[in-house]
Amino acid sequence: MTTHETLEAKVDQLFAEWNNPDTPGAALAVTRDGETIYTQGYGTANLEYDIPITPTTIFDIASVSKQFAAFAIATLAHEGKLSLDDDIRAHLSDLPDFGNTITIRHLLHHTSGLRDWVQSLVIAGVAMEDVISFKHILKMARHQKALNFEPGEAYLYSNTGYNLLAEIVEKVTGNSFREWTDTRIFKPLAMTNSHFHDDHQMILKNRAYSYQAVENNGFKHAVNNTTALGSSSLYSTVEDLAKWILNFDNTQIGEQVVIEQMHQQGVLNNGEQISYALGLNIGEYRGLQTVGHSGSWRGFRSHLIRFPEQKFGVVILCNLDTFNPLRLTEKVADLYLADILAPVKASEPEKAAEPTEDTKSETLTPEQLSEFEGDYYTEELDTTYSIRVHGNQLVAQHIRHDDVLLTYTDGHFLGNTWFFPKIHFTRDDTGHVTGFKLTGGRVRNLYFQKKTR
């Protein structure tokens, strides 16, 4: 048995748990020294029709898509059609003027302060299985009333920023984002099974379906009707993405200056450098530099990692929400790069937790809670929450959500769900409640005005 065969058998063993016809699974590609050295599929692309996953199975690669939007922008900058320091309103004039300039560079590095559409739309009542179109996302961005923070002040991941990058590509080139990426990226690299999915009703052969794990080792279909161009919605295969990985070392498309620019990490206003470059995370694994990105949408999970100095890369695409492709790419790297990786550090004993100030959680009486009752509306998302007292509990009610239980802690209320994490009520000079600000996750200080009766 050759060394390669031994390695491949060890790689296959990593996926053994999913390599059967009754579970979703994954596809894998490994590249080294300018060529694809291994591809394989494990598990099932469609559980209803028993269609196996192969290296040509098409997945929604989720946020791994961002590096393609970044490549488009860097290319247009190199061609003199835009500058990364352009005010985005120079290209998208219908966006609000927030009083602070947001540049294209801010969008690329997730330092714009723009709210993420995923959490925002869920706050508005949108379900993730709904049809969420590119136009829908752009409309939300145009209605944003305030930023999470001043541009450049902080890093906070925002899919919205990358959707606006795709829109800028369309404005600057006169082509749709799908057309531009087809012409300038996918066709030249012979990525024949790749495209930005701009029509959720499009028939697509060889696509993997998206699944969520449920009790008793079962699965359910995680419906995916999203066309979030730029931030996500690139449909591709591991075979095609291997060609993309190889282009970083031997550029078939893109000047070297474009490739180098994609690796330039962002810098905050205070001079702090962040790990995020242009659609790429710059990091380290066991002593070696890494460049990569993860993706997660509905039941799809993806990770693409490169070890640039070793000219080694791994891409894993999965169709189950409990999959951890990042950890699996690292395990694959452990096998192929075993002779040059630094030893795994022994896990340090856990330190005793530093004493922290106790949060003051207290129970308010129904009479105390009653002053917060009312209907609260945000123009930004055109949605209303009704705050009501139920027994000894304050709840936030929305027409499309289950009741959100609110717990009083340290002068504000904490919600029991990820999209409605924390609210702080506002008052006028007389002490009457006038509204509340919602903060948490990727949304900060979203204001809801109390309706007058």
Q: What tens digit of pLDDT does each residue of 325-356 get?
A: 999 999 999 999 999 999 988 765 665 555 55
Q: What pTM, to 2 d.p., does this model score?
A: 0.94
Query: pLDDT tens track of the chain, all 453 residues?
Result: 566 668 999 999 999 999 999 999 999 999 999 999 999 999 999 999 999 999 999 999 999 999 999 999 999 999 999 999 999 999 999 999 999 999 999 999 999 999 999 999 999 999 999 999 999 999 999 999 999 999 999 999 999 999 999 999 999 999 999 999 999 999 999 999 999 999 999 999 999 999 999 998 899 999 999 999 999 999 999 999 999 999 999 999 999 999 999 999 999 999 999 999 999 999 999 999 999 999 999 999 999 999 999 999 999 999 999 999 999 999 999 999 999 999 988 765 665 555 555 555 678 899 999 999 999 999 999 999 999 999 889 999 999 999 999 999 988 999 999 999 999 999 999 999 999 999 999 999 999 999 987
Domains of the chain, each with CATH number or no CATH? 3-336 (3.40.710.10), 366-450 (2.40.128.50)
Q: What tens digit of pLDDT does each residue of 57-112 get?
A: 999 999 999 999 999 999 999 999 999 999 999 999 999 999 999 999 999 999 99
Cβ-based neighbours of 313, under 8 Å, separated by 6 or more: 30, 31, 32, 242, 245, 246, 304, 305, 306, 307
Here the contacts of 325-332 (C-beta below 8 Å, separation 24 or greater) are 325/26, 325/294, 325/301, 326/292, 326/294, 328/14, 328/15, 328/26, 328/303, 329/292, 329/303, 329/304, 329/305, 330/285, 330/305, 331/14, 332/11, 332/14, 332/28, 332/30
